[in-house]
Amino acid sequence: MVFSSAGQMPEVPAEAVVRVSGGHRLRGRYRVQGSKNAALHLVAAALLADAPVTVRRAPDIVDLFIYERLLQYSGWNAAMDPNRSTFTLEPPAQIRHEVHPVLGGLVRTTPVLAAALLARTGRVTWPGAGGDAFCQRPTDRHEAVMRAAGAVVEPYGAGFTTTCPAGLRPFRVDVATPFGASRGATVTALLLAARARGSSLITNPSNEPEVRETVAFLAQRGILVDQDEEGLHVTGSDWIAGGEVDVPGDRDEAATVICATAATGGEVHLEGIALGELTEGLTKALTDAGVSLSAAGAQCVDAKSDGPLHGVEAVTGEGLLPSNAAPPLAALLTQADSDSVLTEGVYPYRDTHVAPLSRFGADISSCGPVIRIRGGTQLRATNAEAGDIRGAAAVIIAALTARGTSLLHVGHPVWRGYQHLTSGLQALGADLAVEHQQDRPDAAPNDLLSRRDLS
């Protein structure tokens, strides 16, 4: 990714086109970035600290750039270092009780940021959550957590205004949804409980890696967090220490690169992530598909296609196949020797990758949460687009296996979640190039952050 200068929006306009000529076997080394989702939650948790916090190995992605602007707007001294790898935050003397109404609508974790501001100040105005619109993603569990902590949540324009007239109180809240535990609402509850004096209980919490990282961050700063059969018990404090925290490797990026490599019959040495960080559900789905995975050191994984690829049946959800891995996996499974069925257990209508993959000639269909993929399909090059991060990854994988040259309108969603996916795939041998907006005379400016006055 290219940043124009300090404080400037990265040059990743929505019109950026990725040109891919397929048919090249990928092999080599790939450095995995820090986890996008873990970093966003850790930065939100760092807002509770009463001393500076340094978040190391922060991914250089658009979503974190938006966070940088969001937090500066709310009063924090927040910035990525010149090497774009470390995110630092210093608590302000005065906090603006608002999540920026435009920027906040660009990221999914807006309710978590709102919870951090509410915990610090007792009131906050925040817009509805943004991020990838691959299906409806309500904020009702976040609102329920806030109310349980003593807040009054009221509609305000396109968002909400939230106040705690008597301050935060210890609470008990259930963060379960019809589709499993809510990862975001679990983090929202953790942040509010960390600042509420007394003991709170979060029942049916998510145990996803990003939640565990947030728990560890708070525990290292003096917040007592215990888990038993009831749920997470959190004892809050009115003082939370600062310090440093390392972002773990991004399993979603690792899954994308593994799928891309295996789809082309290649092999990759991943650096910066341990085999256990991929999680059991992901490794099972990949190995069942015929991908060989092995630890190659404390923070390295070797992956390669182990003969023919095979069709699989898998379900996404807590402790199962990660939902974000399903679209890249679907692209890989078009090359399997048998059919596959992927059932979405988290977001029941997450199928925005189905139509783009069909444009490549993939025999793929969705019915409710069930996606069926016919294996053994020779994909053909085409022009395609995808508006969400993992759908864009699936489209790139399809183009890498297709005959001919594809033009992919996926620039902005790719750089929202991936720091160096395009250059990393080039290093692995992909015939891939990126055309930015300024390279195309017919493209019109479409850079939201540079066109608006965000003061």
- Would you say 445 and 53 are in contact if contact means Cβ atoms under 8 Å apart? no
Residue closest to 63 by CA, chosen among 110, 113, 106: 106
By the 8 A CB rule, do 205 and 175 touch? yes
pTM comes to 0.91
CA-based nearest residue to 12, from 22, 2, 21: 2
The answer to whether residue 39 scores a pLDDT higher than 70 is yes
Closest CA to 33 of 67, 4, 72, 62: 62
The angle that helices 110-121 and 183-195 make with each other, rounded to 10 degrees, is 10
> What are the residues whose beta carbons fall under 8 Å from the beta carbon of 132, sequence distance 6 or more?
108, 387, 388, 389, 390, 391, 413, 416
User: What is the per-residue pLDDT for 105?
Assistant: 87
Percent of the chain with pLDDT over 70: 91
Task: Provide DSSP, 312-373.
Answer: -EEEBSTTSB-GGGHHHHHHHHTTSSS-EEEE-SSSTT--TTHHHHHHTT--EEEETTEEEE
* pLDDT tens digits along 150-205: 999 999 988 999 999 999 999 999 999 988 899 999 999 999 999 999 999 999 99
Read off the pLDDT band of 131 (50, 70, 90). low
Average pLDDT of the residues of the chain: 90
Would strands 77-80 and 370-373 be described as parallel, antiparallel, or unpaired?
unpaired
Across the range 36-50, mean pLDDT stands at: 97
pLDDT at 133 over 80: no
**What is the C-alpha to C-alpha distance for residues 16 and 205, in angstroms, rounded to an integer?**
39
Residue 438 reports pLDDT greater than 90 = no
Would you call 262 helix, strand, or coil by DSSP? Answer: helix
Q: Kind of pairing, strands 431-435 and 17-21?
A: antiparallel
| Overall average pLDDT of the 421-436 stretch | 94
Question: What count of residues does the chain have?
Answer: 455
Dihedral in degrees, nearest 10, Cα atoms 281, 285, 290, 296: -30
d(CA 254, CA 282): 10
What is the Cα–Cα distance from 43 to 106, expressed in whole angstroms?
16
Is the per-residue pLDDT at 395 higher than 70? yes
pLDDT of res. 445: 31
State the average pLDDT over residues 136-163.
Answer: 92
Q: Terminus-to-terminus CA distance in the chain, angstroms?
A: 25
Residue 83 has pLDDT above 90, yes or no: no
Give the model confidence (pLDDT) of 264-306 as tens digits.
999 999 999 999 999 999 999 999 999 999 999 889 999 999 8
Looking at residue 132, what is its pLDDT? 55
Does CATH number 3.40.50.1820 belong to domain 36-246?
no
Task: Please choose, from the candidates 308, 385, 319, 377, the residue with its C-alpha nearest in 3D space to the C-alpha of residue 353.
Answer: 385
The Cα 32–Cα 107 span in angstroms is 22
**Range in 19-23, 110-114, 346-350 with the lowest mean pLDDT:** 346-350
- What CATH number was assigned to the domain covering residues 17-33+249-435? 3.65.10.10
* Cα separation, 253 vs 278, whole angstroms: 10
C-alpha Rg value of the chain to the nearest Å? 22
pLDDT of residue 430: 98
Question: Considering only 66-70, 94-98, 215-219, 448-452, which range has the smallest mean pLDDT?
Answer: 448-452
Does residue 439 have a pLDDT over 70? Answer: no
Q: How confident is the model at residue 116 (pLDDT cuts 50, 70, 90)?
A: very high
Q: What is the pLDDT of residue 145?
A: 98
List where CATH 3.65.10.10 sits in the chain.
17-33+249-435, 36-246
- Per residue in 335-372, pLDDT (tens digit) is 999 999 999 998 878 999 999 999 999 999 999 999 99
Contact 395, 384 (CB under 8 A): yes
